[in-house]
Amino acid sequence: MRMKLIAGLSLAVFGVTTANAQRPTLQPPDPNAPPTKYDYHETFGPNFYTKNGNEYRAATGEPGAKYWQNRADYQLDVKLDESKNEISGSVILSYTNNSPQKLDFVWMQLDQNLFKQDSRGTDIVPLQNGVPVSRNWGRGQAFDAGYKIKSVKMLTGAKDEKAVDVKYLISDTRMQVFLPAAVAPSGGKLKLKIEYSFISPDFGSDRMGVMDSKNGKIFTIAQWYPRMCVFDDVMGWNTLPYTGPGEFYLEYGTFNVNITAPAKIIVVCSGQLLNPTEVWTATQQKRWAQAATSDRTVIIRSAEEVNDPLSRPAGKTTLTWKYKIENARDVAWGASSSFIIDAAKMNMPSGKKGLAISAYPVESDGVGAWGRSTEYVKKSIEYNSAKWFEYPYPNATAVAGVVGGMEYPGIVFCNATSKGQRLWAVHDHEFGHTWFPMIVGSNERMYGWMDEGFNTFINGLSTANFNNGEYKPAAPVDFEATAKTNTRPDLEPILSQPANLKEPNTGTLLYSKPGAGLNLLRDQILGPERFDYAFKTYIKRWAFKHPTPDDFFRTIENAAGENLQWFWRGWFVNNWRLDVGVRDVKYVDNKPAKGAIITIDNLEKMAMPVVLEIKTKSGKTDRVKLPVEIWERAVSWQFIYPSTEEIESVTYNPDKQLPDYNGGNNIWKK
């Protein structure tokens, strides 16, 4: 027994000695190292995710086995009064409660109330040189703004024959409806009929409005009916008020829309027109049939025909336009007597066809302007359908008007003065929103970067592809230059509510910085093949559903097979900066032929993989790539480069594709 114990102790001591011999010893701090803000445990530490996966949202980032979401279907019947800019009518909401909870009340959104003089959104517009300045309001227009709710009734009975008035309470841009009986869980139904009206603002937070053209007003109408708030497993009722900065979070459903307008007016809308023979002339119907088979733009109503009475059906003072769109989160429409209309066929990867359509006034006509609109719509949608996920709607309509650029399912509003590259860019961006948030239905009110930033990313690829690179940038993006803006110290983090950001920062934090983040993942961290697969997995998993940021982060990690929590922390959760410097080059035994010891330092809080360009005395250049893991437990890193001669220079980030904001320490020279 004693001999065994001694033998065991001897082996243990030998094992410890051997193990210690195989381990590096802790080195004292390098007195030559520059000051640094980098903390590798803060960057790579555990517990990034604050909750585990559950039956609703899995740890893999996909919907859980018991994921649910509610449904909202709408029957909309309205009339446009062109002289008053007024929309009036009714909405019948059919609401399905798929949640495991009963609902004693429901919340609805009354977005038009933003434009009241006493709304919260009006009250928070900041002053600039003593004048209120913001994109996110009605520009102070004094008019009879907001919804006029005439009645709210609950419909019951086999044929909805029973209508009971229900109590409701309006608070700014929200309306709470109190129900006489709770909506049952797991499939319970509610039907409400609301009669309402409102006058459109001229400029509606750059998302809708009215513009004068020489041949009539152009109405671009959105946020135009009381809409359901989302009830979900994350927040319950999502009732953040519409104050302007944050956009929308909406349930999916089917929309049946009837819009009655003066007969001279053409109405274009989300979805499929159901009664073309009633609202188009026989000649125009033939042109529509031609467009449905043509890859080139076909004129449906020309500039010369705009003021021709024969370009509208005869015999009626008003016409009702009937549209339907399915599996959509919203519906919007444009209307004008001034519209030129053209269209072309869209080709989907599955073999399905659709129509790209444009509606614009004669002032916007021309091959350098809106005359190419339909071409732009067609090519953008065809590319993204083939690349990511097939476009789900029958038509895609671009409307010229007062709005700079705004997206809705199957229809977008873009500025009537846009031309050339700018028109391509705004069309590509607004229809890019089909994928985010129309297909992937994230919460824009909370996380605007999940649609604007993701869309900005896919726009870069579609622009490079369009027409053999017609509008492709002449040079790659200089990430070193953009880092000065994207990571400047006074910025808020990306992971902020839009209303919680200074308005001048929204372009960076909702669009360019998150878009750049996806480019970094694709080009510098994962590579295009791994990233594209993971990104497509995210889209497929969450198509017509409601993901959160964690669902995105988890999906990319699981589908790509990479722990990226260090990147999410630095780029999205915090506003960290990257600054790596090349400190020194020494030679093994002072002999260049034996190899060079190169030292680099991480001086800021963010980590990224490393790319170095090494130039030797003879003029030879070489590239060295080091993984991000070199920063997992070090603030400085040394490695041996197998040199055979003296090194003239070492350059970090030679292509400026890493977001290192300080280029002054990136080059070591002999």
pLDDT at 451 over 50: yes
Per-residue pLDDT, 24 = 84
pLDDT in tens, 90-124: 999 999 999 999 999 999 999 999 999 999 999 99
Contact 666, 600 (CB under 8 A): no
pLDDT in tens, 603-625: 999 999 999 999 999 999 999 99
Cα 272 from Cα 324, distance rounded (Å): 5
Per-residue pLDDT, 28 = 86
Q: Where are the alpha helices (DSSP H) in 419-478?
A: 420-432, 449-465
Per-residue pLDDT, 21 = 56
Contact 34, 581 (CB under 8 A): yes
Mean pLDDT, to the nearest integer, of 208-227?
98
Give the DSSP H/E element, type plus range, for residue 49.
Answer: none
Among the listed residues 325, 230, 254, 240, the one whose alpha carbon sits nearest the alpha carbon of residue 546: 230
266, 271, 273, 274 alpha-carbon torsion, rounded to 10°: -150
% residues pLDDT > 70 (the chain)? 97
Burial (CB count <10 Å: 0-12, 13-18, 19+), residue 230: buried
Mean pLDDT, to the nearest integer, of 663-670?
97
pLDDT in tens, 538-592: 999 999 999 999 999 999 999 999 999 999 999 999 999 999 999 999 999 999 9
- Three-state secondary structure call for residue 575: coil
Per-residue pLDDT, 27 = 83
Query: How many CB atoms sit inside 10 A of residue 376's CB?
Result: 24
Beta strands in 543-609 (DSSP E): 580-587, 596-602
Q: Where are the alpha helices (DSSP H) in 176-327?
A: 276-279, 282-291
What are the backbone angles phi and psi of residue 338, rounded to the nearest 5°? -95, 0
Strand order of the β-sheet with 203-204 is 203-204, 208-213, 216-221, 333-336, 266-269
Residues, the chain: 670
Q: Is the dihedral of CA 168, 189, 236, 568 positive or negative?
A: negative
Contact 554, 49 (CB under 8 A): yes
Burial (CB count <10 Å: 0-12, 13-18, 19+), residue 123: exposed
Cα 40 from Cα 135, distance rounded (Å): 41
Per-residue pLDDT, 431 = 98
pLDDT at 3 over 50: no
Cα 125–Cα 127–Cα 129 angle in degrees, nearest 5: 160
Per-residue pLDDT, 23 = 82
pLDDT at 459 over 90: yes
Give the DSSP H/E element, type plus range, for residue 38.
Answer: none
Average pLDDT value over all residues in the chain: 96
What are the backbone angles phi and psi of residue 559, rounded to the nearest 5°? -75, -30
Cα 385 from Cα 380, distance rounded (Å): 9
Beta strands in 559-655 (DSSP E): 580-587, 596-602, 610-616, 621-626, 636-641, 647-652
Contact 360, 211 (CB under 8 A): no
Per-residue pLDDT, 8 = 44
pLDDT in tens, 489-535: 999 999 999 999 999 999 999 999 999 999 999 999 999 999 999 99
% residues pLDDT > 90 (the chain)? 95
pLDDT at 634 over 80: yes
pLDDT at 432 over 70: yes
